[in-house]
């Protein structure tokens, strides 16, 4: 019961009504011990893979994911192939990206040391800097 209350609070803080579909999405994303990286398409396939279960529309999954990102519950990561991934780990950290498997793996923030950053464009300031290291077979 406590778990459902936390999910409902997370949905409402994201500006979303806690419908059955959104609760199901939120439970899947946030009730886990490990970081979860996903694309909306992959999440759609995973949530809707059971025949006969209540299907969630791709639009609902996309809109819920974007609302969670805007509320600060998810981080959006754009890879070098212009594919958008989402990450349940919202703390500052870096990633390995495997070009062949299309998978992201976390790298602790303290494992990469940046010694020089360019100046931000006029009227802007740097909010954060995270590195994506692309991997391929040897």
User: E-assigned strands of the chain?
Assistant: 37-38, 75-78, 84-87, 94-98, 103-107, 132-135
The H or E element spanning position 8 is helix 2-13
Kindly tell me the burial class for residue 66, based on how many C-beta atoms sit within 10 Å of its own C-beta (0-12, 13-18, 19 or more).
middle
Tokens 């077979």 — which residue?
137
Encode pLDDT of 24-35 as tens digits. Answer: 999 999 998 888
Q: What pTM, to 2 d.p., does this model score?
A: 0.85
Q: Is the pLDDT of residue 71 over 60?
A: yes
Q: How confident is the model at residue 120 (pLDDT cuts 50, 70, 90)?
A: very high
Q: How confident is the model at residue 93 (pLDDT cuts 50, 70, 90)?
A: very high
């Amino acid at each position: 019961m406590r778990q459902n209350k936390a999910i409902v609070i997370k949905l409402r803080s994201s500006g979303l009504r806690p419908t059955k579909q959104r609760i199901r999405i939120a439970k899947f994303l946030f009730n886990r011990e490990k970081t979860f990286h996903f694309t909306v398409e992959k999440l759609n396939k995973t949530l809707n893979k059971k025949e006969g279960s209540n299907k969630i529309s791709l639009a609902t999954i996309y809109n819920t994911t974007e609302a969670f990102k805007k509320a600060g519950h998810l981080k959006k990561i754009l890879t070098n192939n212009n594919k958008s991934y989402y990450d349940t780990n919202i703390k500052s950290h870096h990633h390995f990206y495997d070009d062949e498997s299309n998978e992201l793996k976390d790298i602790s923030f303290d494992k990469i040391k940046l010694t020089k950053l360019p100046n931000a464009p006029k009227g802007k300031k740097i909010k954060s800097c995270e590195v994506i290291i692309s991997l391929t077979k040897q």
